[in-house]
Amino acid sequence: MRIKKLSEVMGTKVYTDSGEFFGEVEEANLMENKVDGWRIKVGGLMSSLIGGARGVIIPHQFVKAVGDIFIINKAALPSPDVDIEEVPADLM
Summarize pLDDT for 37-53 with one digit per residue, the tens: 999 998 876 666 666 67
The Cα angle at residue 84 between residues 64 and 60, in degrees rounded to 5:
25
What are the residues facing 55 on neighbouring strands?
Answer: 41
CA 25 from centroid of its chain's CA atoms: 6
Q: What is residue 68's DSSP assignment? A: S
Class of 6-75 per CATH?
A: mainly beta
Pick the more confident residue, 16 or 89. 16
Q: What is residue 87's DSSP assignment? A: P
**What's the predicted TM-score (pTM) here?**
0.74
